[in-house]
Amino acid sequence: MDANAWLALAALPNMGAHRLKTLYDQAPDWPQGWLAALPAPAASALRLWLDHPNKSPLQAQIDASRGWCEAGPHRHVLYPGHPRWPALLDELPDPPPVLWALGDLDALIGPRLAMVGTRKPTAEGGRNAREFARALAGRGWCVVSGMALGVDGLAQQAALDEGGATVAVLGSGVDVIYPASHRALYRKLTQTPRALVLSEHPPGTRARPAYFPRRNRIVTGLSLGTLVIEATEKSGSLVSARLAVEQGRELFALPGSLYNVQAAGCLSLLKSGAILTRHVDDILEELGHWAGAYLPAAGQALAEPITSAPVQMSDPLTLDTPDTLLAALSSTPTPIDLLVQYTDQSVGECQQRLLMLELEGRVAQQAGGWVRLG
């Protein structure tokens, strides 16, 4: 089955990922076996596409995906049977039938670990996210996350800084930047060798709350294990932790202070059996024996590397700005309204600059305001 067939299956009415996987596991012949196994509405839609593609609404969706792939470099549609389809996804009960990919497919070569956590990490949590990501990247592991604020973004930026591989799975189309404040990180993920953005949603799909829990199953499903850096007791990261366990993946959690609410979720995970993690060797001791199976075989050809020059765009998040904002910060938390007065910038300008400084590990948000690190 080729990309067109999988794109058609993914667009069939009333057929979710779980039902498609159930049928796929039965190994029906294409297309007659699928037509016989599909429910009547889906079978009728597929038969119309097979016999009269120009009359089928499925063809319009296929053409849109093909047009998107042909409109620029490093755009791909992945599906079961594609040379770079991540085999770990086949172990899920509801893998995505197709994945749209933007970036360097070489990011999928090698062992992968998911890193997740709170969107508002403490200074220690942010430091741990960066240090573990750098250490994993330095050992040849790919960091997988969701490009969310906080731990996700910090970990993926650190992996990029280390020159390692990283994969971001979005809860929107791969061409929709969410959150918008991660525009600079998104650009690096789509233009840096061994960095990749994935989504099960067609290009142009806007982010929706319901998409993020389903996004999480791909983040953990792509990975041999999941590391939770910091999480409250009601954190969305605990959804990822539960998914990892249900998928038969190893679950790792960092311990934290009893008085740190951002560590409460990790402490609960440790109590429930997650592997206590102090440094990256704790992870490699558990997963190292699996990693070799995901390294490229000798002589295996790699995907075409990214060689095109980055697109030059005007972006307020990446423009050089005066250091007045950084100079206004100290180890004592300073609220945003005072920073606006000190720097003579708008609230939006201050917030954008603070986000960039936070990604660089130079500032952190704490109770009462922002502090300067180091």
Pairing of β 99-103 and β 195-199: antiparallel
| In 117-230, beta strands by DSSP E | 142-145, 166-169, 195-199, 225-228
Q: What is the rounded average pLDDT of the residues 227-247?
A: 91
Contact partners, residue 319, CB within 8 Å, separation at least 6: none
Cα 291 from Cα 113, distance rounded (Å) = 10
Decide if 68 contacts 102 (C-beta within 8 A). Answer: no
| Phi/psi at 196 (5° precision) | -155, 145
Summarize the chain as % helix, strand, coil (round to 5): 45, 10, 40
Lookup result for tokens 């850096």: 229
Mean pLDDT of 97-107: 96
Domain ranges within the chain, ordered by starting residue:
1-71, 105-294, 324-372
Determine the CATH number of domain 105-294: 3.40.50.450
Average pLDDT rounded to a whole number, residues 324-341: 77
The 10 Å Cβ neighbour count of residue 259 is 7
CB atoms within 10 A of CB 54: 7
Residue 323 has pLDDT above 80, yes or no: no
Q: What is the mean pLDDT of residues 89-109?
A: 95
**355 vs 155, higher pLDDT:** 155
Asked whether 104 and 192 are in contact (CB, 8 A), the reply is yes
Neighbours of 296 (CB within 10 A): 11
The C-alpha atoms of residue 105 and residue 193 are separated, in whole angstroms, by: 9
State the DSSP H helix or E strand holding residue 253, giving kind and residue range, or none if neither.
strand 250-253
Query: Which pLDDT does position 374 carry in this prediction?
Result: 67
Angle at 109 between CA 106 and CA 113, to 5 degrees: 115
pTM, two decimals, is 0.78
CATH code given to domain 324-372: 1.10.10.10
pLDDT reported for residue 367: 73
Predicted confidence (pLDDT) per residue in 248-264, tens digit: 999 999 998 888 888 89
Confidence (pLDDT) at 363:
82
Model confidence at 150: pLDDT above 60: yes
CB hemisphere CA count around 319 (13 angstroms): 8
Q: What is the mean pLDDT of residues 165-172?
A: 97
